[in-house]
Structure 1
Amino acid sequence: MKRIKILVSVLLLAATTVSCGDFLSETPDNRTVIDSPRKVEQLLVAAYPDATFMLFNEMMADDVRDSGKMNLTSENDEKMFTFQDVHDEDLDWPIRYWMEAYKAIAQANTALEAIDKLEKEYANKPSKRSLENLRGEALLARAYSHFMLVNLWAKHYDPATASSDMGIPYMTSVEDELLVKYERNSVEEVYDLIEDDILTGIAKLKGVTYENNNVERYHFNEAAANAFATRFYLFKGDYKNAIKYSQAVQGLPIGKLRDVQGANKKSIEQNETDYAQTYVPTNLLVSTVKSRMTRILHTNRFNLSSASANRSLFGPNTHPLAEKNGNWNYPNDTYSLNDRYYVHKFYEHFKIIDFTNMTGHTYVSFVLFSNDMMYLDRIEAMILDNQIDEASKMLEYFTLTRTNLNAPAQEFMGSIKYSDWQNLYPIQTSDINPKTQLSEEQTTLLRALLDARRREGYQEGYRWFDIRRYNIVVKHQMATGEVYEVKENDNLQQLQIPLMAIDKGITPNPR
């Protein structure tokens, strides 16, 4: 597809090294003409961020320790570990994600503008994907990037304060001026706009078809859209709607979750290759982006050692059936260079650009939405909606699918009792600080659920969102003894707005 020349907003310019003159060298009318649904479809390929949040989220969360191996230190690693602002625009760091998310939003808005112009002409013309289907994808893609931005650079949604909490600018149109003055919408306004885009997008994706999984699961499809809606409503605190949109994985979704038992029998290489493949039933939306994440995870001073992993997440004493020899079954090993406990999820593809010097770009595929995470989101919503019995059954089933068993998980249903969760999560040791009052039973099951997501999303950055949502205190101790802490309701839970965006008038986050 030809490159589309558009004027980029100050939000993108806040984190790019391209000069203003380069952007202004083309007039707004000198663009590739988007004159068919097929060209809109091609345009939407770039409506997803070409970056990942996973590494910098991992570095801030409580699954990271200082190994003390000074030869493996980088400035960015150390800054993220000690909760300092990182201003580097390189791959895998916050500014790059900010920039790429707003680029993706601009692409989605360009697609929506083109759809508006094509509607009349193509109203009665057949096409493989209708303009309304494409509008649905564009709206969901726009909503997704804004959702990620607001949950990284603003406070978590709290109905008591959302109308006054600073969110992020919500972009709904293609700009034809460069120096537009932008204001930060409130968190409530951002969530309202996201919700509008999600609901309209889902309605317009009804009946959408793709050639095959390899095409479908790189785009918002109905299943991925419902998983997104589930997560959105969970974060908003609308548990009824979170449960509604997660019905595809209600009960015991046999065959829909990741086959952890089978994965544990595969080689390291096969697990890394398979994890984010579109043919894996659980994977609903996959993204392949420029990233050095595999290299950084393998050579990072700050990590989770095998000893720490066994104590906190993956050892037998962290399993509710520990007294009955229950143990986790995640495929893993220890990377010897930095004693890192490693679960095999990421496969790097190196694309050679210069064959003379053998230089190029590194790409990694990531799972943005899956049945597994939607299942956990549903369980959490049911716990908070006080549907305890059903939530308990689902949590037990999920746990058993990740347990070293000699038969399918459903054959062991009934083996985990509530008392097993109580023993593992005594109420007096609770480290969560929810906004609403919970019963003892809800608190116990919620802690079990959060650990299940922490374990399932290990190395994928999801723990940071739960830390923010439940005000979990994080303490990082350097090998030299200094302690850095993110406290309850700490402003450090929000990433800092990029400096160049601040220079252009975007209000910074307090520090």
Structure 2
Amino acid sequence: MRKIIYATGLVLTMAAMSSCKKYLDIVPVGSVIPTTVADFKKELDAAYLLAELDKGLSSYRGDEITVNETRSRDVDVISNNFLWDENGPTKGQTYNWQTKYQKIFYANHIIEAAPAATGGSQAQKDQLIGEAHLMRAYTYFNLVNLFGNAYNETTAATDKAVPLITEVDMEKVARRNTVKEVYTQILADLEQGLALVNVDDFEVSQSYRFSKTAAWAMAARVYLYTHQWDKALNAAKAALEKKSTLVDFNNSNALPTLYNSIETIQAYEQNFNVITIQTAYVSDKLFSLYNTTGDLRPKIFYGKDSKGKNTVAKVVNSNSYRQSFRTAEMYLIAAEAAAQLNQPDVARNYINQLTQRRHTPVFHATEQIRLATLSGNALLQEIYDERFRELSFEGHRWFDLRRTKQPEIVHTLKGKTYTLKAGDPRYTIRIPMDAVANNPLLNE
């Protein structure tokens, strides 16, 4: 079983589980046993190619979207998530459980088998294995934040999350591991990945790959989510030391969410498809957070339809709109971590470096004065609001709500009002029903 199965273009196909309830299964289509660094590089490329749309779908659960109900057929695709009932009656888009474990399968095999690969330099082999560790870390990070409780130091050791599979074992039926166990694996893979990857930044055509800068950016995000403020600040600084460029909206309307943006650290994920982005209007709550005369982002990030509704321009359905990590997020992580460490001047400095490129000079001068008056919880709230403004529709908001205050959210659909209560258990998404049907241990 220790060979990777390839179809045309080296695509491995995962099948539904058989009656023997194997956790994962492989459909043989024609087989190639990778032996060289080039072979394993193709295997890793196949993992990079696997599409996921979970972050766009989960965005409907938060407060940045109102539904364009004129797209009546598409409303059914997203309504389960908009109503926090992901296993509900409507046959809509579901989460990519199998795809994530397919990526993990690739990563596991490369980590296990690639050390014996031939035909490349040691540096190339290290980079390849390092990328596999980072692929596994990032995939588990996304899994635990979709299907596990938000990280809480006091409960992480007992909160159930997702199964950890770190070896190629086709017969294994896996139980759910805890949030703490999953994060322990994520951090171990991050450490390994940072030690092995040796390419600081890839050329634009390969910007989807995990570089050293992308590894530091991922570390900053993981440390932020796990409340390791010192490490989050240091990792964000490390990423910014390697790349700190920002688009200045005073002299450019270039979208920072394009794969070839000067802000791109890693252009890996495309979070929305044509249905999920065109069925989204910008919520009044989000739009009202901008000063539409002094903040330059609304005119660049959004548009208007024929009815005057605010639409999304920054992440349209195109392969060119890909972002997993960009420099603006690093400034905001550094600001939040510094604020948590009671370093308000440091936090304000990072915010000002970003917003100077997003505001007109006159408005920015007044904002600097206002920002200087904020400290403590008020400064933190400003940083959360700035993340909302800057990172909207990039797959952050739902997870920011989960990891911070978990506030009450009210949605309206087809004339009815629905409420997610503060701290509601539905802030954690249930594991897809088809995954549970294939592995009943996921119910434990």
Q: What TM-score range do you get, normalising by the shorter chain?
A: 0.7 to 0.9
Contact 1:55 1:459 in 2 (8 A): yes
Partner of 1:435: none
Q: Distance in 2 between matches of 1:70 and 1:38?
A: 46
Tell me if structure 1 keeps the 8 A contact 2:201–2:212.
Answer: no
Contact kept? 1:152, 1:494, Cα under 8 Å: yes
Q: TM-score, normalised to structure 1's length?
A: 0.75
Q: Which residue of 1 aligns with 2:224?
A: 234
**What CA distance in whole angstroms lies between the structure 1 residues aligned with 2:410 and 2:101?**
31
User: What CA distance in whole angstroms lies between the structure 1 residues aligned with 2:45 and 2:383?
Assistant: 34
1:47 aligned counterpart, secondary structure: helix
Of 371, 387, 393 in structure 2, the residue corresponding to residue 459 of structure 1 is 393
Q: Deviations over 1:16-72 (max 9, x none)?
A: 9xx99x966649xx7312111111112111334511223212211112235654746
Which residue is equivalent to 1:432?
A: none
CA distance in 2, matches of 1:2, 1:502: 27
1:82–1:484: 8 Å Cα contact kept in structure 2? yes
User: 1:150 maps to which residue?
Assistant: 144
Q: Does residue 1:370 correspond to 2:326, yes or no?
A: yes
Task: Give 2:369's match in structure 1, choosing from 403, 409, 417.
Answer: 417
SS at match of 1:398: helix
- C-alpha distance in 2 between matches for 1:502 and 1:314: 42
Aligned to 1:442: 376
- Does residue 168 (structure 1) correspond to residue 162 (structure 2)? The answer is yes
Match of 1:326 among 285, 290, 294: 294
Shift of 1:334: 3.1
Distance 1:75 1:451 in 2: 30
Corresponding residue pairs, total = 432
Q: CA deviation at 1:199?
A: 0.4
SS across alignment from 2:402:
helix
Structure 1 counterpart of 2:61, which letter?
M
SS of aligned partner of 2:361: coil
SS at match of 1:366: coil
Alignment of 1:40-119 (within 5 A): 40-48=40-48, 49-66=50-67, 69=70, 71=72, 74-86=75-87, 93-95=93-95, 97-118=96-117
Using the TM superposition, give the Cα deviation of residue 153 of structure 1 relative to its aligned residue in structure 2, in angstroms. 0.6
1: CA distance, partners of 2:272 / 2:297: 27
* 1:470 corresponding residue in structure 2: 404
Is 1:506 matched with 2:421?
Answer: no
Contact 1:166 1:185 in 2 (8 A): yes
User: What does the per-residue CA deviation read over 1:67-104, in whole Å, with 9 as the maximum and x for residues that have no partner?
Assistant: 6547465223222111112479999x442x22221111
Q: Share of identical aligned residues, percent?
A: 23
Contact 1:163 1:186 in 2 (8 A): yes
| 1:389 partner SS | helix
Work out whether residues 115 and 131 of structure 1, in 8 Å CA contact, stay in contact via their aligned partners in 2. Answer: yes
Higher mean C-alpha deviation, range 456-465 or range 192-201: 456-465
Is the contact made by 1:182 and 1:505 (CA closer than 8 Å) also made in structure 2?
no
Whole-Å separation in 2 of the counterparts to 1:172 and 1:364: 32
1: CA distance, partners of 2:28 / 2:66: 49
Q: CA deviation at 1:417?
A: 2.4
Question: How much has 1:169 moved relative to structure 2?
Answer: 0.7
Identify the match of residue 265 of structure 2 among 267, 279, 284. Answer: 284
Distance 1:444 1:396 in 2: 16
| Corresponding residue SS for 1:416 | helix
Give the whole-Å Cα distance in 1 for the aligned partners of 2:124 and 2:89.
41
Residue number in structure 2 paired with 1:425: none
Please report the TM-score for the alignment, with normalisation by the length of structure 2: 0.85
| SS, match of residue 246 in structure 2 | coil
- Counterpart in the other structure of 1:344: 313
| Residues 152, 495 of structure 1: 8 Å contact kept | yes
1:451 positional shift:
1.0
Whether contact under 8 Å (1:243, 1:378) holds in the other structure is: yes
Report the Cα distance in structure 1 between the residues aligned to 2:43 and 2:153, rounded to whole angstroms.
36
Partner of 1:225: 215
User: Unmatched 5+ residue regions in structure 2?
Assistant: none
- SS of corresponding position for 1:258: coil
- The answer on whether the counterparts of 1:6 and 1:31 sit within 8 Å (CA) in structure 2 is no
Relative to structure 1, is the Cα distance of residues 94 and 199 closer, same or farther in structure 2, using a 3 angstrom cutoff? farther
Deviation sequence 1:104-147 (CA, Å, 0-9, x none)? 111111212221333xxx4xx75385212211110000010000
* Mapped partners of 1:464, 1:25: distance in 2: 35
Per the alignment, residue 336 of structure 2 pairs with: 380
CA distance in 2, matches of 1:480, 1:53: 24
**Structure 2 vs 1, CA of residues 86 and 366 (structure 1 numbering), >3 Å: closer, same or farther?**
farther
Assess if the C-alpha contact under 8 Å between 1:140 and 1:201 holds in 2: yes
